[in-house]
Amino acid sequence: MITSRSEALAVAKRQCRTLTSAPDPRERGQAIFAGLARADGWSKTEQNKIIAFGAWLSERPSPTAMKARCQQLLASLA
pLDDT tens-digit profile, the chain (78 residues): 668 899 999 999 999 999 989 999 999 999 999 999 999 999 999 999 999 999 999 999 999 999 999 999 999 998
pTM, two decimal places: 0.90
pLDDT attached to residue 3: 82
pLDDT attached to residue 34: 95
Considering only CA atoms, which of 32, 15, 26 is closest in space to residue 64? Answer: 26
pLDDT attached to residue 38: 93
pLDDT attached to residue 78: 83
8 A C-beta contact, residue 62 and residue 45 = no
Task: Measure CA 29 to chain center.
Answer: 6
Q: Degrees (nearest 5) of the Cα angle 32, 34, 38?
A: 120
